[in-house]
Amino acid sequence: MQGDNTELLGEVAGYYAARLAEHGDTPRGVDWNGAESQHLRFAQLSRIIAGDAPFSINDLGCGYGALNDYLRGVFPAFDFAGYDIAASMIDTARQRAGERADTRFVVASEPDRVADYGIASGIFNVRLGRGDEEWLAYVKATLDVLDRTSRLGFAFNCLTSYSDAEKMRDTLYYADPCLLFDMCKRRYARNVALLHDYELYEFTILVRKS
């Protein structure tokens, strides 16, 4: 994925590095509105995790490590690896997490291991000046990465094309939930869930592998 999207990823990394510099390690620092919506979002994504047994998880586009913080308050034991293309995000995430044997953060565009689960939150939202066709190709390539690097399943979210037209921004990508649901069913697994019933202008897809 990196080889085909180096310029695109560089633009996105620069965008988020600027947000972090302006807002610090807060939801605004990763372009979210606030902590309440961020936790609601994480609650949907973490539904991919089955039971209370220890597990491993990759967070692709981890930002400053907020998902790790959330999961630590919900699940008793897991091994976490976060990946982000913005070096300043990874530096901040490492400082926040401290030294833990079960937590690491890596500057990378894709995971360097196969984990039980993969999660991608918000990484498909900011397309800057890219067109729909190019950005959808990037989304599909990234989902292939999530599939390849997860054993039990993966989850991701997107802004929804069902958003109010007057609130849409040209720099953001609003995905067709039906299109991505169909693709995930046909390409990755039989057990796929589309969550579009929570109070945000987005949707979450869970892909559970047999």
Tens of pLDDT, residue by residue over 65-98, are 999 999 999 999 999 999 999 999 999 999 999 9
Query: What's the whole-model pTM score?
Result: 0.90
Q: What is the pLDDT of residues 157-206, one digit of tens each?
A: 999 999 988 889 998 999 999 999 999 999 999 999 999 999 899 999 99
Strand partners, 155: 119, 206
Of 151, 150, 149, 169, give the one whose Cα is nearest residue 159.
169
Strand partners, 208: 153, 191
Domain boundaries along the sequence of the chain: 1-208
How many angstroms separate the CA atoms of 116 and 153, rounded?
A: 7
How many angstroms separate the CA atoms of 106 and 111, rounded?
A: 9
- Confirm or reject CATH 3.40.50.150 for domain 1-208, answering yes or no: yes
Strand partners, 160: 175
Residue 64 region by backbone torsions, left for phi larger than 0, else alpha for psi between -120 and 50, else beta: alpha
